[in-house]
């Protein structure tokens, strides 16, 4: 390993942890990054923290003190002190961190761990930048990230691969004034979900039972995206499964999310604001044959969407035992309550080892791609 890129490097690999971003999931990203910093193996990796503000500006934190109010989801934000605004540029054996205000190089990075949830980070945009910078990075590449982020595209790919999904309709902003609740209900049923097509963490998602709720939910979804999905309600247990790897991915033991209190589904508030918003069963109580079925479908979903490195696959398990894939998360949460690392830990991979494996998978893909020819031999 490291034949091409790391042959002349020192022992430690300098990894850029990229967090924040221009997304409604900005604060979740910061908390995920904070957890990773606390667990990464400092004997193998040195960490350069890069925070992206909601206005899109990139900042380097040389002291690593990038987060404020990490334990309070309502007040979490990037520290505006002890940082320098930067750009990244290709360099020899890595990418250069270039200070905009001082016009000097602040160092270099050899790999990247994007911990960016939602648009402008989880959708292939940052992945494309990292490929242009010619450095390895954690998680799916450009195509897998884009396909996984766009719920419509993901559903169409899964449907073509005979993987069960919920029935859905898609509307763009230009259709907003022509969306009929009566027609939607006739197609999808009396209870439906309205979602932005490109977002995660259940932001902008509403469960709808009547026309008044429908009008409000459509307006809410269009706040976050120019395209929305309206899906049928699937009654079943909410099951999640972590997938890890490149060419030969493995699936964790599945977990289960049980919303509590007034939460009718696993909403953003239930996930991150209400400390008692849901019961998270890291290992779901399920028959062995159902566990194997979930794991097999999680890996099939992962491969169909051309994912690599990591992803979490979410299901509905019906009373009949049949499964419906709800969605995938190509950069799942890494906070202290996040299911992705917890399910893998229950499957025998602890947090520090998981971070190490994810970085190594990124390096492995990078080296595989380096072997591809870039010149035509005549």
pLDDT in tens, 319-345: 999 999 999 999 999 987 899 999 999
Whether the pLDDT of residue 202 is over 90: the answer is: no
Give the residue, 11 or 81, on which the prediction is more confident. 81
Which segments within 118-191 are labelled E, that is strand? Answer: 168-172
Q: Is the pLDDT of residue 147 over 90?
A: yes
In a domain, 20, yes or no: yes
Rounded to whole angstroms, what are the CA distances from 38 to 338, 343, 352?
15, 19, 9
| Stretch 345-350: mean pLDDT | 96
- Residue 152 CB contacts under 8 Å (≥ 6 apart), including other chains: 168, 170, 197, 227, 229
Confidence class for position 138, pLDDT limits 50, 70, 90? very high
What pLDDT is attached to residue 38? Answer: 93
**Are 223 and 105 in a shared domain?**
no
Answer yes or no: is 72 within a domain: yes
For residue 252, the 8-state DSSP code is P
Write down which residue in 209, 232, 255 finishes a domain.
232
The closest of 64, 101, 100, 97 to 79, measured between CA atoms, is: 64
Pair 153, 182 in one domain: no
Please check whether residues 32 and 109 belong to one and the same domain.
Answer: yes
Is 349 inside any structural domain?
A: no
In this prediction, residue 200 carries a pLDDT of 64
Residue 360 lies in a domain: no
The CA distances from residue 242 to 71, 116, 299, in Å, are 25, 18, 9
Residue 2: predicted pLDDT: 42
Q: How high is the mean pLDDT of the chain?
A: 91
Among residues 232, 255, 288, the one where a domain terminates is 232
Please indicate, yes or no, whether residues 87 and 207 belong to a single structural domain of this protein: no
Burial class (CB in 10 A: 0-12, 13-18, 19+), 308: buried
Least confidently predicted of 252-256, 265-269, 332-336: 265-269
Within this chain, do residues 180 and 309 fall inside the same structural domain, yes or no?
no
Could you give the number of structural domains in the chain?
Answer: 3
The whole-model pTM stands at 0.91
What is the domain extent for residue 203? 168-232
Kindly state whether residues 304 and 159 are assigned to the same domain: yes
Identify whether residues 282 and 185 lie together within a single domain.
no
**Neighbouring C-beta atoms of residue 58, cutoff 10 Å:** 19
d(CA 288, CA 193): 31
Instruction: State residue 227's pLDDT score.
Output: 96
Q: Are 274 and 324 part of one and the same domain? A: yes
Secondary structure of residue 302 in the 3-state scheme: helix
């Amino acid at each position: 390993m490291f034949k091409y890129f790391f042959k002349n490097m020192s022992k430690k690999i300098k990894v850029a942890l990229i967090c924040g971003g221009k997304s409604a999931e900005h604060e979740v990203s910061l908390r995920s990054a904070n957890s990773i910093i606390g667990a990464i193996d400092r004997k193998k990796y040195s960490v350069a923290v890069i925070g992206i503000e909601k206005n899109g500006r990139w900042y380097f934190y040389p002291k690593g003190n990038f987060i404020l109010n990490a334990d309070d989801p309502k007040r979490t934000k990037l520290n505006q002190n002890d940082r320098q605004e930067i750009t990244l540029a290709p360099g020899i054996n890595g990418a250069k961190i270039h200070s905009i205000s001082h016009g000097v190089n602040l160092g270099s990075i050899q790999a990247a761990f994007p911990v960016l949830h939602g648009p402008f980070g989880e959708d292939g945009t940052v992945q494309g930048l990292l490929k242009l910078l010619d450095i390895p990075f954690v998680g799916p590449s450009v195509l897998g990230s884009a396909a996984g982020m766009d719920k419509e595209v993901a559903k169409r790919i899964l449907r073509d691969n005979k993987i069960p999904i919920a029935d859905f309709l898609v509307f763009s902003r230009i259709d907003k004034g022509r969306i009929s609740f009566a027609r939607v209900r006739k197609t999808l049923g009396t209870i439906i979900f309205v979602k932005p097509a490109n977002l995660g963490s259940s932001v902008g998602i509403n469960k709808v039972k009547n026309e008044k709720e429908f009008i409000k939910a459509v307006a809410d979804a269009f706040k976050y995206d120019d395209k929305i999905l309206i899906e049928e309600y699937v009654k079943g247990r909410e099951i999640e499964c972590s997938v890890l790897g490149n060419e030969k991915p493995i699936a964790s033991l599945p977990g289960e999310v049980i919303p509590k209190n007034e939460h009718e589904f696993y909403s953003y508030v239930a996930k991150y604001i209400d400390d008692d918003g849901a019961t998270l069963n890291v290992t779901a109580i399920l028959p062995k044959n159902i566990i194997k079925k979930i794991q097999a479908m999680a890996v099939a979903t992962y491969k169909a969407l051309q994912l690599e490195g990591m992803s979490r696959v979410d299901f509905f398990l019906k009373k009949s035992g049949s499964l419906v894939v709800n969605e995938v998360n190509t950069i799942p949460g890494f906070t202290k309550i996040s299911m992705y690392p917890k399910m893998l830990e229950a499957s025998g991979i602890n947090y520090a080892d998981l971070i190490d494996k994810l970085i190594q998978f990124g390096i492995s893909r990078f080296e595989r791609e380096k072997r591809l020819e870039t010149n035509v031999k005549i």
